[in-house]
Amino acid sequence: MAYIALYRKWRPGTFGDLVGQEHISRTLSNAITTGRIGHAYLFSGPRGTGKTSTAKILAKALNCEHGPTPEPCGKCAACQKINDGTSMDVFEIDAASNRGIDEIRDLRETVKFAPVDGRYKVYIIDEVHMLTTEAFNALLKTLEEPPAHVVFILATTEAHKVPPTIQSRCQRYDFKRITVEEIRGRLETVVAEMGLKAEAEALDMIAIQADGGLRDALSLLDQCSALAEGELTAARVRQVLGLIGHDWIYKLTEAIYARKSQVALGVLAELLRDGKDLKQVLTELSLHLRSLMIYQATGTLEQMDLYAEPDEVLQEQGKFFSTEDLMAMLKRLHEALAEIKWSPQPRITVEVALMALCNPVTSGAVPQAAGAAVDDGRLAQLEAKLSQMAAQLAARPVAAAAQAGTRAPAAQRSAAAAQGTAPRADVSVEPMPQAEVVPITASDAEVWDRLLMTLKERNKMPVFACMNQGQFAGMSDTQFFVKFKGVLMADLAMRNYRALLEQLLEELTGRPLHLHCSGEDMPLTPPPKPVKKKTAPPPAEEPSIHVDLDAMPPEERAPLEKAFEIFGDHVVEIEDDKQ
Ligand SMILES: [Zn+2]
């Protein structure tokens, strides 16, 4: 005997067999019992929810030799022919491939003729929303004056695309997604009748994977059971469906909690070697995190259409993260899921996402845009980098030249030059646009210079390194303005160093001054080179530090360059020293 796919073999034969659509089967049964048959029906709903099956049952119910009856026998010649698709009175039209006016014109010709052996001619038009406008118009004419022996059943997954003029001529039935519970129940029946043994978890997985469609669930069961010898196990289903499985996902979750990105990437590598799909990894990790979130909130996963997960795991891993953490993580995973569709290197996308989860400081939870609030963790990190950089700067003899406060051209020569190495290129602080609020006088500028100097003298290197990136923007009797090229540094100064700076300013000027630090977002490209002016710039705009980047050993240069990269600032620019 030829092999019959499960979903065909187990296609519901009567309204009673329909799974999850009781509201529809009841109404249609009543209509047939009471003889109130409509001329046009619109069945709408997701794929695999039983629209075509219901149409076939209705056709049989109308044409069964023992009918019309809500329970067609399925055995008489009329029922058999409808089952086989050989009935002369039941027409199935796939609008996805027959979209045009010609098919509908043919249809209009044939509807006139009486049924061959049954009582009704039944036209089932699948995916009816695909018809062209002309075809819809032609169909509408038929629907307006249907012959008494004709029943139209229009099926669609997208009812909103069916013109209202058509919809208003139809009795509409909305098919709902079938719940995991209902699908599992159906699978249990099928498995029992097939004489197959199956683990409950195996059926669970199939039911969830089918995503509301019974036809898909039966196809999946078909695939899995064809390979199953003896019992259908969860492991077998996982293998056939390419599922990742709890153990791996739990391992991954633990690695994320412990912030062991190496372990997480190791798990990913192993899964990929095993032929698993990147998308599936992200999906199952999201499902697990969702379980943790729901478990935290409700203490149970019942009625949630989720994989059964052991309570002890949920209890243990549920403590790993706060609800906010879980929400941020799910958001990051969903972003990654969307990104991998277009990413030229999807594996890297997933790796970046996992790294971000392992290292929440840099995860999507922190807005990337400059100007957004910067959290303390990231600030602390930046500060550590800053002091490192400042220490390196201070260690350079060139810094000493600036400390001396001399601005003579001779002092601008790099220390490297003084030490006899080649003075190929100087790095100088680039003059920034001045704040125009307050005019800057020479004595005001001196306050700024002395402020920086004092910071160094008192060994406040992180503060110095921060302020040294700023540009004095003027002062009044009560206020002191500093401008930065990025909001990050301005924010750092105001949040962490303000008290110290205001105290120093008072010492230097003898009056209380309010510090104002502001920053502007930098363009991604470095600013254009300033036109070199031969006229001496005002002292306030003099470069205060000269660093010969080229002369630096790479191990010193790298952190500096990294720092500039992190801050997005191009404070230094390499210029040829023409003098
Ligand atoms: Zn029959």
Lowest mean pLDDT across 252-256, 385-389, 440-444: 385-389
Of 498, 405, 397, the closest CA to residue 452 belongs to 405
For residues 561 and 508, which has the higher predicted lDDT (pLDDT)?
Answer: 508
| pLDDT level of residue 408 (50, 70, 90 thresholds) | very low
Lowest mean pLDDT across 45-59, 425-439, 472-486: 425-439
> Residue 22: its pLDDT value, please?
87
Lowest mean pLDDT across 210-214, 338-342, 538-542: 538-542
Q: How far apart are CA 507 and CA 234, in angstroms?
A: 75
> Residue 498: its pLDDT value, please?
87
DSSP letter assigned to residue 20: S
* CA–centroid distance, residue 42 to ligand 1 (Å): 24
Q: How far apart are CA 550 and CA 234, in angstroms?
A: 62
For residues 258 and 16, which has the higher predicted lDDT (pLDDT)?
Answer: 258
Q: pLDDT for 219-248, tens place per residue?
A: 888 888 776 667 888 888 888 888 888 888
Q: Is the pLDDT score of 576 beyond 80?
A: no
Evaluated on CA atoms 269, 274, 278, 283, the torsion sign reads negative
* CA–centroid distance, residue 56 to ligand 1 (Å): 12
Average pLDDT over residues 186-200: 87
> Residue 394: its pLDDT value, please?
47
* CA–centroid distance, residue 78 to ligand 1 (Å): 6
Q: Is the pLDDT score of 577 beyond 90?
A: no
* CA–centroid distance, residue 402 to ligand 1 (Å): 101
Average pLDDT over residues 75-103: 85
Q: pLDDT for 95-115, tens place per residue?
A: 887 777 777 888 888 888 888
Render 450-512 in DSSP notation, one character per residue: HHHHHHHHTT-HHHHHHHTTSEEEEE-SSEEEEEESSHHHHHHIIIIIHHHHHHHHHHHHSS-
Q: pLDDT for 475-509, tens place per residue?
A: 888 888 888 887 777 887 888 888 889 999 988 88
Question: Which residues have their alpha-adjacent CB atom under 5 A from ion ligand 1?
Answer: 64, 72-73, 76, 79
* CA–centroid distance, residue 65 to ligand 1 (Å): 5
Average pLDDT over residues 319-346: 90
* CA–centroid distance, residue 66 to ligand 1 (Å): 6
Q: Is the pLDDT score of 531 beyond 60?
A: no
Report the share of the chain in percent with pLDDT over 70: 74
Average pLDDT over residues 23-44: 91
Of 191, 248, 230, 282, the closest CA to residue 9 belongs to 191
* CA–centroid distance, residue 62 to ligand 1 (Å): 9
* CA–centroid distance, residue 46 to ligand 1 (Å): 29
> Residue 1: its pLDDT value, please?
44
* CA–centroid distance, residue 61 to ligand 1 (Å): 8
Q: Is the pLDDT score of 215 beyond 50?
A: yes
* CA–centroid distance, residue 38 to ligand 1 (Å): 20
* CA–centroid distance, residue 20 to ligand 1 (Å): 24
> Residue 51: its pLDDT value, please?
92
> Residue 435: its pLDDT value, please?
40
Average pLDDT over residues 149-157: 93
Of 482, 476, 477, 436, the closest CA to residue 463 belongs to 482
> Residue 379: its pLDDT value, please?
54
* CA–centroid distance, residue 120 to ligand 1 (Å): 14
Average pLDDT over residues 46-56: 90
Q: pLDDT for 267-312, tens place per residue?
A: 999 999 888 889 989 988 998 998 899 888 887 776 666 666 778 8
> Residue 527: its pLDDT value, please?
41
* CA–centroid distance, residue 108 to ligand 1 (Å): 28
* CA–centroid distance, residue 60 to ligand 1 (Å): 7
For residues 214 and 373, which has the higher predicted lDDT (pLDDT)?
Answer: 214
Compute φ and ψ for 20, nearest 5 degrees. 75, 5
Of 131, 167, 161, 127, the closest CA to residue 47 belongs to 127
* CA–centroid distance, residue 75 to ligand 1 (Å): 5
Q: In the structure encoding, which two tokens stand for residue 33, read together?
A: 């019992």
* CA–centroid distance, residue 1 to ligand 1 (Å): 23
Q: Is the pLDDT score of 150 beyond 90?
A: yes
* CA–centroid distance, residue 76 to ligand 1 (Å): 4
* CA–centroid distance, residue 81 to ligand 1 (Å): 10
Average pLDDT over residues 361-366: 44
Q: In the structure encoding, which two tokens stand for residue 322, read together?
A: 């706060």
**Residue 491 identity (one-letter amino acid):** D
* CA–centroid distance, residue 204 to ligand 1 (Å): 35
| pLDDT level of residue 403 (50, 70, 90 thresholds) | very low
* CA–centroid distance, residue 68 to ligand 1 (Å): 9
Q: Is the pLDDT score of 419 beyond 70?
A: no
> Residue 443: its pLDDT value, please?
83
Compute φ and ψ for 419, nearest 5 degrees. -85, 0
* CA–centroid distance, residue 77 to ligand 1 (Å): 7
Contact 391, 559 (CB under 8 A): no
* Residue 205 CB neighbours (<10 A): 23
* CA–centroid distance, residue 139 to ligand 1 (Å): 30
How high does pLDDT run on average in the chain? 77
- How far is residue 217 CA from its own chain's centroid? 27
CATH numbers and ranges of domains, the chain = 6-174 (3.40.50.300), 180-241 (1.10.8.60), 246-362 (1.20.272.10), 378-523+538-576 (3.30.300.180)
* CA–centroid distance, residue 118 to ligand 1 (Å): 11
Average pLDDT over residues 421-434: 38
Q: Is the pLDDT score of 534 beyond 70?
A: no
* CA–centroid distance, residue 47 to ligand 1 (Å): 27
* CA–centroid distance, residue 69 to ligand 1 (Å): 9
* CA–centroid distance, residue 72 to ligand 1 (Å): 5
Average pLDDT over residues 79-85: 89
Q: Is the pLDDT score of 3 beyond 70?
A: no
> Residue 424: its pLDDT value, please?
38
Q: pLDDT for 365-381, tens place per residue?
A: 433 333 333 444 555 56
* CA–centroid distance, residue 147 to ligand 1 (Å): 24
Note if the bond before 68 is cis, omega within 30 degrees.
Answer: yes
* CA–centroid distance, residue 14 to ligand 1 (Å): 11
Of 419, 7, 399, the closest CA to residue 190 belongs to 7
* CA–centroid distance, residue 82 to ligand 1 (Å): 9
* CA–centroid distance, residue 67 to ligand 1 (Å): 7
* CA–centroid distance, residue 71 to ligand 1 (Å): 9
* Residue 99 CB neighbours (<10 A): 16
> Residue 526: its pLDDT value, please?
42
* CA–centroid distance, residue 150 to ligand 1 (Å): 19
Q: pLDDT for 276-285, tens place per residue?
A: 889 989 988 9
